[in-house]
Every structure is written in structure tokens, then in C-alpha cells.
Structure 1
Amino acid sequence: MMNKIQAKELYEKMFANYPDVLTVEDATKLLGFKSQTAVIRRVHQHRIRCLKVGRSFMIPKEYLIDYLLDD
């Protein structure tokens, strides 16, 4: 069984080719969701932390990894 530190290191390696800050579209692809609505819903539920830039949500890769580790 993998502990949280090992899981975090694995995710960091898996997501190494992605930018440090993701759009909702990028996060949707990375998480394997079918629609961006699923990511936006989790943002509004405060399950995925984000930065709001104008009217857009930007999700640091680190926040997405935190979501995966907590879920």
C-alpha cells in the first residue's frame, strides 16, 4: 500500500509534462472527466482549490494533486 508521500511523488512524476497552473480544460483532461462542469462543480464545492483570474478559474497543479490525495 502506498503512503501519501509516495502517492504525491507519483502524481508529480505523472503530471510533470503539464504546466504548473492548469486551465479547467487541462484539469478535466488530466482527471479523465468527461466534462469541464465536473471540475467547476468541485471548485464551487471547495473540493478543488483554485485561483480566480478575471472570470476564469486557474488550478495550480499542486492543488489538483492535493485534491487527488484527499479524495
Structure 2
Amino acid sequence: MQIDYGIPSDTLKAYSLMFQDYPDVVNVVQMCEMLGGISTKTGYKLLQANKINHFKIGRAYKIPKAAIIAYLHSIMTHQPNSHCDALVH
């Protein structure tokens, strides 16, 4: 089953190349690396606020790489000139 995240194919291809060293499903630490080295605390906040699609196996968060790409695409194309915060406090 493939989920359509509404990402243009050229954008998806570019991000896929950029994140080719990561598995298709990543953990929180890997997600934080992919998002430019954000803290794990911020990473958990993003997940708990459902900003990034994810699922849990037991207590472990699992994040599809495509969901991270969709999140990056959405903040780059839909967020008005907010360059400092990934989360609105």
C-alpha cells in the first residue's frame, strides 16, 4: 500500500536523493537528523502534535521517510514567512 502525500514528483525525487542513506521508516533520532539536527525533545513535540505522520510499535515511534518529506514540503510551501520555529508555541 502506498500513501499519497500530495508531493510533486520532482520534489519527492529530490528529497529521496537527499535522504537516500536513511531507511524507508526511521526512528526519532534519525528523523531529528533529517530535520537538520533538531533536538529529540523538539522531535517528540512534532510527533505528539501530529505535525508529522507516524505510527508506534510498542512505545517506539516509527516515521515513514515520505512523511518527513511531506512535512518539509508543507512548511516550505504553506507557512507564511516563519523561518525560526517549527512549532507554534
Q: Same fold (TM over 0.5)?
A: yes
Higher relative contact order (CA 8 A, sep 6+): 1
- Once the 2 structures are TM-superposed, how far is the Cα of residue 7 of structure 1 from its aligned partner? 2.1
Give the alignment partner of residue 22 of structure 1, picking from 15, 20, 26.
Answer: 26
Q: CA RMSD in A?
A: 1.5
Which structure has greater strand proportion? 1
Q: Deviations over 1:4-25 (max 9, x none)?
A: 4322211011011111110000
TM-score by length of 2: 0.70
Which structure has greater helix proportion? 1
TM-score by length of 1: 0.86
Consecutive unaligned residues in structure 1, runs of 5 or more: none
Larger Rg: 2
SS in 1 for 2:16: helix
Percent identity of equivalent pairs: 31
